[in-house]
A = this chain, B = another copy of it.
Amino acid sequence: MARRQDQQRRSSIHDVASRAGVSAATVSKVLAGVTTVKPENAQRVFDAVEQLGYRVDPLASDMRRAKRRIIGAIMPEFESEFFGQMITELEGLAEQRGYTLVAASSRESEAREKEILARMHDWRVAGVVLAPVRNEHGPAAEFMKANGMTGVLIDRVLSDDAFDTVSADSAAASAEVARELIGKGHRHILVVGLGEQAATVRARLDGFRGAALKLAPGMRIDVVLAESDVGPLRAQLRDYFDACEGKDQGEGKGERPTAVYSLFLKGTLVALSEFRRRGWHCPNDISLVGFDDAEWMQVTWPAIAAVVQPVREIAGHAMEALFARIEGGEGPPQARLEPCRVLMRESVGSPGSGSHSGGGNRQ
């Protein structure tokens, strides 16, 4: 058994240099791919590198360069599939370009977001991919601006006058959801959202409402917006449905909406949970569509309809934009919108087609 995990000294560029019989400067050049080195010497360097198992210390290297080859990524959380995939994609893309990604979670706190950003600034990161907690006007983006940091804003943003932005085309997707639901005959729909995420909620709500009212002008759209957290939403939703039920005593089917469109993932969970509590089943008792897809949504019974965000595209274009800026790209900030896919699954049906007390939708 090893006595201890001894950190043996790694060979430095000077070790390579002396072994190859050249100077450290030459080694540096060879490794940087400079072609003006005599082939013979280059070979000796490669051999020495091989023999010593030498690898450049990226930090020491960055120390001397102007910009450090580090990208910072700040996400509101890591627990959801969306941001998990996002980080995975960003990491891969950064790596492809020889950069290291340092990821941090703001845990849905703007204060923490700014702190992390300050730390990344200390690290002199070359650029930052920021998925802000609220929107592009938060203190974090402000900090970036004030300190001349290079960055891209993603997800909960629309556009900005200082940074490029990349996000899902929430409005278009929501319009499609509206078309689908109205096509199925729904004329009374509840939309559930989180007020804090101002930028995207507005876009999604407006996109939905615009399309819906155009197709069915007289229809009713109710909105329940949680202020700042998901906790209260649960109660708000309960109250909302209680009020609905109150209005139609003795009729058996009244002012209750026939479909719910949740503008964010946690809202979908809360809605499902509330349906459970009331013993309502999708799609017979009520239909449900959620913004944001998740793997489990296709294996539950019924499968949950969802808007799928193009994670790869968002990550890809964010990194493209970021590196363009890092490499000195000029020009006004671009606001990109990536199209979503809407997956209509079993949780959506036509109103009145199922019995209010009947069993679930079966094969």
Contact = CB atoms under 8 A, between A and B. Distances in A.
A37 B79 CA distance: 46
Contact of A8 (B10, B100, B148): B148
A62 B295 CA distance: 42
Interface string A78-96: 1111011101100100000
A251 interface: no
Contacts of A150: 5, 7
A78 B87 contact: yes
Contacts of A104: 91, 101
A116 B107 CA distance: 26
A252 interface: no
A348 to B, nearest CB: 16
Nearest to A280: B301
A145 interface: yes
A87 B149 CA distance: 26
Interface residues of A, number: 75
A60 interface: yes
A24 interface: no
Nearest to A105: B88
Contacts of A32: none
A343 interface: no
A100 B84 contact: no
Contacts of A147: 8
Contacts of A123: 57-59, 100
Interface stretch (A173-181, A207-215, A268-276): A268-276
Interface string A229-260: 00000000000000000000000000000000
Most buried by B among A57, A79, A81: A79
Contacts of A296: 269, 272, 294, 296-297, 300
A279 B103 CA distance: 42
A39 interface: no
10 contacts: A5-B145, A5-B148, A57-B122, A57-B124, A58-B123, A59-B68, A84-B84, A91-B103, A301-B301, A359-B360
